Amino acid sequence: MIPASKPRLIGVTVVVTALLAVLGVRLYYVQVKEHVNYVALATQDQVRTIVEPAVRGGIVSDDGQPLVTQTSSLTVAVNMAVVGQEAGGGVPELDRLAKVLRISDKTMVEKVRICTAGVKQPCWPGSPYEPIPVAEHVTDQQALQVLENKKEYPGVSADVQPTISYPQPIGTDAAQILGYLQPITAQEVSQLHIPITGFSGDDLIGQSGLEAEYDSELRGQPGLDEVSVNAAGQVTGTIKNTKPVAGDTLVTSLNVQLQEATENALQAAIEKAQAEGNPDATSGAAVVMTTTGRILAMASYPTYDPSVWTGGISENEFKQLFGTGAGEPILERATQGVYPPGSTWKVTTLTAGIKWGDSLYADYDCPASLDVGGHVFNNDFGNGGEISLSEALIESCDTVFYDMGYQIWQSDNRKYNDVTSPSFPTQFEQKIEMDWGFGKPTGIDLPGEYEGQIPTRAWLYYFWKDNAHTGQDWCKFGREYGSYVQQIEWDDCYYGNIWEPGQAIIASIGQGYVGVTPLQLANAYAALANGGTLYSPRIGEELISPSGKVVKKINPPVIGHLPASSTTLAYIRTALQGVITSGTAAGTFAGFPLDKVCVAGKTGTAQVFGRNSTSNFASFAPCSDPKYVVVMMIPDAGYGADASGPAVRQIWDALYGLEGQKAALPNGLPPLPHLNTSGQMVESSPGTTTKSKTKAG
């Protein structure tokens, strides 16, 4: 050994010894200290969780007829994580598959593209790593073509999957009420605080209507299987098995026959208005409810077949549903359409006048016009002379209510009428209107309800603030001596935040800034008819578990009371009988068998600048003991007595079985259905044999 190399050898020996020591310590730490943790992790890597979706609960009518059902069908699905790796990015494979399924290449692309920023609907909102259903209800031959040619169709599967179906015609007649389902997204999983393992790739979630409102109850609980697998991925045993629990069945108060009759009457009224020279009358809504808050029928036009959502929706179909050119049939116009109520509003103004100090039994002047500060407000039928408030409702005298609104305006906190703050107090009359349930949601068990529009000082402040220099930009486009519209915009720019007498006068007959939903109007008339109790309407009546147990009773809660005495309300109800027999609706109900069913109601014709009038009709029956309310609103259709009135009459015929029609409710509201021992939904009719309707779920 060379003496000079000895120190180097010692140094190398020390370094190697140190490295071996470190390695030994690390091996000891891994094999001894962390042994338990690594064993657990190794075990975890060998466990797989398999999700088994639950059968979604059904939605049924008041007597147990299915409105939404879940069936099984052969479904073809595409896993784009696999297909995208194929030649040409998977496009040739998708083209071949489209031909097998007999759909266009464009439709196929729309079905499999992932919803991301910049990608328009339709697209796949679920996980990009899960199979995407591209065709449901495929034939056995189509499924076999896919399954027997795995080399030609890698990443494509065909198996039996649950699908949602909508019996017709009720599915289309009640489309907006029922709502629709779409695959759950990661964002919805997060928002609903649901563990990601609780859903599979093809799980559906309610996006609107009853499907969304009662989604958690209808969805049920998915099953979870924990299985052990070996290194090759083969299942070696079951660790834990949790069976799925089917969702509850929702029993509604919707009557199938009445819903169909209401939708048909609404559509016929709109088509009649168009034929009579009102081409812009293309939409509307109607509501049939009990005076205790139960919705029996609720029609919205235009409507659509909700099965369009099943198996994916095309771009054209999506545009048809959401596009204004097609009338936006996706909208539930009974709860989301806001229209001026016209003279149906006069019942609220009358109660405000009585509260303010007018006499219920005095006579009032009904002149041909009312002049306030040089602005003339005309009566619809000229000079009516001295009349009672009852006659003012029966004949629909505008000037009586103009003057009532003007007198209230004069005495109502006028120092606050230059609205410079949204905290200024609500006017007297508008407070009364809100106590009738207007200007706020009714709370119905449907999502997305609009609150309508009551021109309070706070509302006026924000309306002016949002449009003076932004929005409609009155100050930019207004001209003091320009066209009529430009003059209005100029005036709104400088004075739009001032609650003027003209606005109060017009609002007193349900025009101007006043806007209500058909449901709000129906709910208010239900309260008028029942003596003053305001309910939050309900469509759902109860939830039934798969075992047949009633999980929950759903009752319309009381949300308020009308701001009027029982004497005032009784006076109004009597007057509204006169509207039908001798007033503005006498021609509409000529020949109607009032001796069998006494109907009371009010016409409403709301003028809208630049458009035709909105045709409204609100009614209730029987007069002596009101049980039901029927309301219809059709914009751009003309007089209330000409368009909505006759259609409302047809709905009363269908409800009671009059004038050759079959009664939808011959014995009143039916008893709630229940599940029999075979799991079938049956109608509960005391003293009669129960009739099977459908299986739960």
- Of 201-210, 446-455, 475-484, 602-611, which range is least confident? 201-210
**What pLDDT, on a 0 to 100 scale, did the predictor assign at position 4?**
53
pLDDT at 10: 72
At residue 201, the pLDDT reads: 44
Confidence at residue 634, expressed as pLDDT on a 0 to 100 scale: 97
243 vs 605 pLDDT, higher one: 605
Q: Which residue has the higher pLDDT, 697 or 541?
A: 541
* Average pLDDT taken over every residue of the chain: 87
Residue bearing the bigger pLDDT, 115 or 278: 278
Alpha carbon distances (Å) from 34 to 20, 37, 45 = 20, 5, 17
Domains 256-339+521-534+547-656 and 342-515 belong to one CATH topology: yes
pLDDT of residue 594: 97
pLDDT of residue 643: 95
pLDDT in tens, 332-358: 999 999 999 999 999 999 999 999 999
* Contact in structure between 280 and 324 (CB atoms under 8 Å): no
Please report, for the chain, the start and end positions of each structural domain, with discontinuous segments joined by +: 74-165, 256-339+521-534+547-656, 342-515
User: For residue 73, what pLDDT is reported?
Assistant: 74
CATH of domain 342-515: 3.40.710
Residue 418: what pLDDT? 96
| pTM score, whole prediction | 0.83
Average pLDDT over residues 86-114: 89
pLDDT at 192: 60
pLDDT-above-70 percentage for the chain = 85
Classified as helix, coil or strand, 299 is: strand
Q: Residue 686: what pLDDT?
A: 47
**Which sign, positive or negative, has the C-alpha torsion 354, 356, 362, 366?**
negative
pLDDT mean over 393-398 = 97
Per-residue pLDDT at 264 exceeds 50: yes
Domain 256-339+521-534+547-656's class? alpha beta
Q: Do residues 632 and 281 touch, judged by C-beta distance below 8 A? A: no
| Model pLDDT, residue 675 | 75
Exposure string for 643-665, b = 16+ CB within 10 A, e = fewer: bbbbbbbbbbbbbbebeebeebb
Mean pLDDT confidence for 145-154: 86
Neighbours of 13 (CB within 10 A): 10
CA distance 455 to 439: 9
pLDDT reading at 202 higher than 70: no
Considering Cα of 197, then 200, then 206, then 211, what sign does the dihedral take?
A: negative
On whether the CB atoms of residues 629 and 651 are closer than 8 A, the answer is: no
Give residue 29's pLDDT.
64
List pLDDT tens digits, range 41-66: 555 556 666 666 678 899 999 999 99
Q: What is the pLDDT confidence band of residue 32, given thresholds at 50, 70 and 90?
A: low
Across the range 82-101, mean pLDDT stands at 89
| Band of pLDDT at residue 268, cut at 50, 70 and 90 | very high
- Between residues 224 and 692, the one the model is more confident about: 224
Buried b (16+ CB within 10 A) or exposed e, 560-578: bebbbeeebbebbbebbbb
83 vs 326, more confident: 83
